[in-house]
């Protein structure tokens, strides 16, 4: 069945790429992890690039779903942001391989000429910008803040501690870490005056 072959490749590829990184993952290894023949990879994808891009796109979509689902809920802003943080961190914990994969490749050189990897996360940042815009309109955020810079900063507040946890082989969602991250992110909204 077309779907199950593609699924096998998807999950095998995530495992393979996150373990060894893009370059050190051979197509043979992906095929082995996916339980298909190497030729099957090339029957379904033009090449290694396209396979990797497929994995990243499918993953980026699921990541964007997280933020969309949270912010689409009716709730007061602070609750929304709390939910965002905990949901996002839980997603990272539950998809450690894929999250590591993203962090390894997000800022690298373009894989394909036409598609820079971080463009895949464009929607993610757009959604966050929308929420920050609202917060600014509600007076929760100083007018002087540059929103696209802030969304990047918030992304950093979450992801850098998370990736460090993974590198040190610790759970992301230890209580003290989640609390600290939550506190840090929410602080960035308090008041507008620079100290």
Partner DNA sequence: TATGAATGAGCTTTCATTCAT
Partner DNA sequence: CATGAATGAAAGCTCATTCAT
Inter-residue contact 18 to 101 (CB < 8 Å): yes
- Please enumerate, as own/partner, the contacts of 108-111 that have beta carbons within 8 Å and a separation of 24 or more: 111/22, 111/49, 111/52, 111/53
Q: Interface residues for DNA in 77-106 (CB under 7 A)?
A: none
By rule CB under 7 A, what string of x and - marks binding of each residue 6-45 to DNA?
------------------xxxxx-------xxxxx-xxx-
Q: Interface residues for a copy of itself in 17-76 (CB under 8 A)?
A: 19-24
- From the list a copy of itself, DNA, none, pick the one residue 104 interacts with, judged by a Cβ distance below 5 to 8 Å according to partner type: a copy of itself
**What is the Cα–Cα distance from 183 to 85, expressed in whole angstroms?**
10
Which token pair is 130? 């929308």
Give least dist CB 107 to a copy of itself, A.
Answer: 5
DSSP string, 116-130: -GGGGGHHHHHHHHH
Which token pair is 120? 């895949």
- From the list a copy of itself, DNA, none, pick the one residue 176 interacts with, judged by a Cβ distance below 5 to 8 Å according to partner type: a copy of itself
Contact between 195 and DNA (CB under 7 A)? Answer: no
**What is the Cα–Cα distance from 194 to 120, expressed in whole angstroms?**
34
Closest alpha carbon to 93 in 184, 173, 153? 173
Size of the site for a copy of itself (CB under 8 A): 50
**What is the Cα–Cα distance from 47 to 27, expressed in whole angstroms?**
9
Pick 41 or 89: Cβ nearer DNA: 41
Which token pair is 93? 């914990």
Pick 48 or 127: Cβ nearer DNA: 48
By rule CB under 8 A, what string of x and - marks binding of each residue 96-135 to a copy of itself?
----x--xx--xxx------x-x-----------------
Inter-residue contact 18 to 12 (CB < 8 Å): no
Residues of this chain that bind a copy of itself (CB under 8 A) = 19-24, 78, 100, 103-104, 107-109, 116, 118, 142, 144-146, 148-150, 152-153, 155-161, 163-164, 167, 176-177, 179-184, 186-191, 194-195
């Amino acid at each position: 069945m077309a779907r199950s072959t593609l699924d096998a490749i998807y999950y095998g590829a995530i495992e393979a790429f996150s373990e060894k990184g893009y370059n050190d993952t051979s197509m043979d290894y992906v095929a082995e992890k996916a339980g298909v023949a190497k030729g099957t990879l090339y029957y379904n994808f033009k090449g290694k690039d396209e396979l990797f891009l497929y994995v990243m796109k499918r993953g980026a979509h699921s990541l964007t779903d997280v933020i969309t689902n949270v912010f689409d809920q009716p709730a007061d802003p602070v609750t929304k942001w709390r939910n965002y943080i905990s949901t996002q961190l839980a997603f990272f914990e539950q998809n450690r391989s894929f999250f590591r994969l993203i962090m390894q490749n997000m800022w690298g050189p373009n894989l394909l000429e036409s598609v820079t990897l971080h463009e895949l996360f464009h929607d993610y940042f757009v959604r966050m910008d929308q929420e920050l815009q609202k917060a600014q309109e509600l007076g929760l955020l100083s007018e002087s803040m540059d929103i696209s810079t802030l969304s990047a900063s918030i992304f950093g507040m979450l992801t850098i501690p998370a990736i460090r946890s993974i590198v040190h082989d610790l759970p992301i969602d230890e209580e003290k870490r989640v609390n600290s991250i939550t506190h840090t992110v929410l602080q960035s909204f308090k008041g507008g005056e620079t100290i």
